[in-house]
């Protein structure tokens, strides 16, 4: 019995999660596993009413679940940063979800913005460190508000934090068993403390994985190659900030935010799965947002729970629809409504 914590969140989050839950119901019947869901009302509305984000008690509560299924966090009436830090980052850090796993896979070449690229050219995974780096929130102002003001923002990298991320990436590359190539994406030529530690750790761990080919790319060059030669990549490991940036580019290369999903993985604990696009306030309540990213996040959740067959069945249904039904992956242009796309996936589960 899987206990799933569901956080619809803000904007279009609840709408896309609803479609994901339709698919979950269908696959549980078809493949014969049991689950129960508990809804959590974390998000902008609750914050505006009560001033609450996520506290230690909420984190302790979430620890009781098999996994967390999240829609989106971000509300137009709340100052940027409050919900992101108070809910999303708080949960990632609180549950030690130290990996952010973001597959970049093109399901239909017509939706790739890069000329002459086909499905086989865009199939890689970014392993983003999810607990340290610039996201640690360390720093200070000096002489704030004066003409001599200084703002310092520190990238915090521990040997333990870097090593566990790199080890995860090597294991993942081995298990994925495709091109068996792991690329470290960094900035060794400028950020000579952080990336010296990353490079040394990477090289040491690599010596234990003789079956995995290794490579290195600076982050700026990585963005160039995402566009020029995405087929060079198999698995990429990088820090929190670079991972954040390159996966938005990755999402575009795979066809847009409508299809991009990610998992905040706590290998020893409770993981959280989400579509990586935001709360899209302007589309809220219109039944036009693409729920496939949320459905792909559901598939990742089931894979992580050990239901690989189920995850594959969902992915196959999504591929079928993206190839043969939808007119576009963008909100309002799919040729179907949000709920119709959810229904299409349900009907196509084989």
What does the binding site for ligand IPM look like in residue numbers (CB under 6 A)? Answer: 84, 88-89, 244, 276
**Phi, psi torsion values for 243, nearest 5 degrees:** -65, -40
Nearer to ligand IPM, 272 or 329 (CB): 272
What is d(CA 116, CA 123) in angstroms, rounded to the nearest whole number?
Answer: 15
Query: What is the DSSP pairing of strand 261-265 with strand 271-275?
Result: antiparallel
Does the protein bind Mn ion through residue 239 (CB under 5 A)?
no
Distances from the Cα of 146 to the Cα of 139, 140, 152, 154, 177, angstroms:
18, 14, 15, 21, 55
Which candidate, 285, 286, 288, 312, places its Cα nearest to that of 298? 312
| Cβ neighbour number for residue 41 with a 10 Å cutoff | 13
Q: Tell me the CB-side half-sphere exposure of residue 306, using CA atoms within 13 A.
A: 5
Q: Which is nearer to ligand IPM, 294 or 334 (CB)?
A: 294
Identify what 318 binds: Mn ion, ligand IPM, none; CB under 5 to 8 Å per kind: none
From ligand IPM, Mn ion, none, interface partner of 84 (C-beta below 5 to 8 A by class): ligand IPM
> In the complex, what is the shortest distance from the CB of residue 272 to ligand IPM, in angstroms, rounded to a whole number?
11
244 binds Mn ion (CB under 5 A): yes
Q: Write down the residue that tokens 């619809």 correspond to.
A: 8
Q: Which does 320 bind (CB under 5 to 8 A by kind): Mn ion, ligand IPM, none?
A: none
User: Which of 121/244 has CB closer to Mn ion?
Assistant: 244
Residue 253 in contact with residue 113, Cβ under 8 Å? yes
Please state the closest distance from residue 53 (CB atom) to ligand IPM, in A.
Answer: 13
250: left (phi over 0), alpha (psi -120 to 50) or beta: alpha
Q: How far is the CB of 89 from ligand IPM (least distance, A)?
A: 6
- Distance of closest approach, residue 154 Cβ to ligand IPM, in angstroms: 17
Q: Give residues 272-291 in contact with Mn ion (rule: CB under 5 A).
A: none
Is the CB of residue 247 less than 8 Å from the CB of residue 262? yes
Residues 6+ apart with CB under 8 A from 128: 99, 100, 101, 102, 238, 239, 240, 242, 243, 244, 247
Angle between helices 13-31 and 308-324 (to 10 degrees): 120
Nearer to ligand IPM, 252 or 276 (CB): 276
Choice between 43 and 74, CB closer to Mn ion:
74
Question: CA nearest 5: which of 227, 253, 274?
Answer: 274
Q: How many residues bind Mn ion (CB under 5 A)?
A: 1
5 vs 101 by CB, closer to ligand IPM? 101
> Between residues 101 and 344, which has the closer beta carbon with respect to ligand IPM?
101
Contacting range for Mn ion; rule: CB under 5 A; set: 73-81, 101-109, 223-231, 243-251: 243-251
CB of 238 to Mn ion, least distance (A): 13
Q: Which among ligand IPM, Mn ion, none contacts residue 88 (Cβ within 5 to 8 A by kind)? A: ligand IPM
Q: Minimum CB separation from ligand IPM for residue 282, in Å? A: 17
The CB-of-344 to ligand IPM minimum distance in angstroms stands at 27
Q: Using CB under 5 A as the criterion, which residues of the chain lie in contact with Mn ion when the complex forms?
A: 244
């Amino acid at each position: 019995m899987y206990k799933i914590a569901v956080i619809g969140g803000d904007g279009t989050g609840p709408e896309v999660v609803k479609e994901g839950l339709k698919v979950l119901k269908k696959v549980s019947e078809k493949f014969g596993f049991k689950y129960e869901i508990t809804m959590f009302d974390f998000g902008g509305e609750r914050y505006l009413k009560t001033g609450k984000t996520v506290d230690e008690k909420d984190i302790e509560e979430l620890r009781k679940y098999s996994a967390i299924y999240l829609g989106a966090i971000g509300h137009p009436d709340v100052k940027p940063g409050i919900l992101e830090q108070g809910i999303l980052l708080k949960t990632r850090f609180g549950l030690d979800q130290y990996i952010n796993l973001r597959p970049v896979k093109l399901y239909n070449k017509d939706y790739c913005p890069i000329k002459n690229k086909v499905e086989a050219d865009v199939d890689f995974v970014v392993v983003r460190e999810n607990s340290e780096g610039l996201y640690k929130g360390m720093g200070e102002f000096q002489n704030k508000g004066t003409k001599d003001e200084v703002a310092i923002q520190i990238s915090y990298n521990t040997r333990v934090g870097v090593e566990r991320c790199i080890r995860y990436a090597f294991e993942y590359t081995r298990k994925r068993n495709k091109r068996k190539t792991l690329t470290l994406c960094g900035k060794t030529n400028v950020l000579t403390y952080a990336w010296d530690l990353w490079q040394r750790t990477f090289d040491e761990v690599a010596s234990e994985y003789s079956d995995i080919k290794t490579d290195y790319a600076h982050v700026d060059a990585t963005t160039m190659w995402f566009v020029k030669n995405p087929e060079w990549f198999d698995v990429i490991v990088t820090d929190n900030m670079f991972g954040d940036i390159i996966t938005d580019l990755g999402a575009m290369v795979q066809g847009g935010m409508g299809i991009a999903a990610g998992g905040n993985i706590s290998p020893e604990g409770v993981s959280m799965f989400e579509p990586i696009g935001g709360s899209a306030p302007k589309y809220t309540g219109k039944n036009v947002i693409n729920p496939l990213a949320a459905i792909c996040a559901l598939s990742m959740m089931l894979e992580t729970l050990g239901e690989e067959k189920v995850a594959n069945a969902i992915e196959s249904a999504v591929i079928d629809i993206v190839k043969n039904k939808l007119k576009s992956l963008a909100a309002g242009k799919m040729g179907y409504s949000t709920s119709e796309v959810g229904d299409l996936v349900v009907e196509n589960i084989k």
